[in-house]
A and B are shown apart, each in its own frame.
Chain A
Amino acid sequence: MKYDELVWFVVKGRTFAEKVLGSASGNPDAKAGAIVEAAPDLVMSHENTFLVSKSFSEFGLGRPWDPSKIVLILDHRTPANTAQTATVHARIRNLARDIGVAKFYDAGSGICHQLLIEDRLVRPGQLVLGTDSHTTTAGAVGAFATGIGATEMAGVWATGSLWLKVPESIKVELSGHLAKGTYTKDVALHLASVLGPSGADYRCMEFGGPLMQDLPMAGRMVLCNMSVEVGAKAAVVVPDAVTEEWFRGYSQATISPVRSDPDAAFERRIELDVSKLPPTVSGPHRVEDAKSIDKQMGVRIDQAFIGTCTNGRLEDLIAAAQVLKGRKVSPTCRLIVAPASRRVLEDAMDMGVVQTIVAAGGTILPPGCGPCLGAHEGVLGPGEVCISSSNRNFKGRMGSEESEIYLASPATVAASALEGRIADPRRYLE
Chain B
Amino acid sequence: MTRIWRFGDDVNTDAIIPGKYLDNYDPGHLAAHAMEGANREFAGSVSKGDIIVAGRNFGCGSSREQAVIALARAGVKAVVAKSFARIFYRNAVNLGLSVITSEDAADVFVDGDEAALDLKNHILVSADGARRASLAPVPEHVRKILDAGGLVPYVKAKLAMTTRPSK
Contacts and interface: CB of A to CB of B under 8 A. Distances in A.
Interface of A: 35, 48, 50-51, 54-55, 58-59, 61-63, 65, 77, 81-82, 84-85, 88, 131-133, 147-152, 154-155, 158-159, 163, 197-198, 201-202, 231, 233, 286, 373-375, 379, 392, 394-397, 399, 401
Interface in B128-142: 141
Contact of A158 (B37, B60, B85, B155): B155
B18 A55 contact: no
B120 interface: no
A61 B163 CA distance: 12
A392 B63 CA distance: 13
Interface string B14-26: 1100111011110
A151 B22 contact: no
A198 B10 contact: yes
A392 B14 contact: yes
A151 B19 contact: no
Contacts of B64: 48
Contacts of B141: 35, 163
Interface in B7-49: 10, 12, 14-15, 18-20, 22-25, 36-37
B151 A152 contact: yes
B95 interface: yes
A149 B65 contact: yes
A77 B22 CA distance: 10
A401 B37 contact: yes
A152 B94 contact: yes
Contact of A231 (B15, B36, B85, B150): B85
A155 B167 CA distance: 18
B23 A77 contact: yes
Interface residues of B, number: 42
B14 A149 contact: no
Interface of A: prevailing SS:
loop
Contacts of B150: 151
Contacts of A85: 23
Given A396-B18, A397-B14, A148 B87 contact: yes
Interface in B40-95: 56-57, 60-66, 68, 83, 85-87, 90-91, 94-95
B79 to A, nearest CB: 15
A153 to B, nearest CB: 9
Contacts of A154: 151-152, 155
B23 A81 contact: yes
A286 B156 CA distance: 40
Given A131-B63, A133-B61, A375 B94 contact: no
A233 B86 CA distance: 8
Contact of B87 (A61, A133, A399, A401): A133
A150 B152 contact: no
Given A395-B37, A396-B37, 12 more contacts: A50-B25, A51-B65, A61-B159, A62-B167, A133-B61, A147-B63, A149-B65, A151-B150, A154-B151, A375-B23, A379-B20, A397-B19
B59 to A, nearest CB: 11
Contact of A198 (B14, B15, B85): B85
Given A58-B152, A158-B159, A151 B10 contact: no
Contacts of B63: 131-133, 147-149
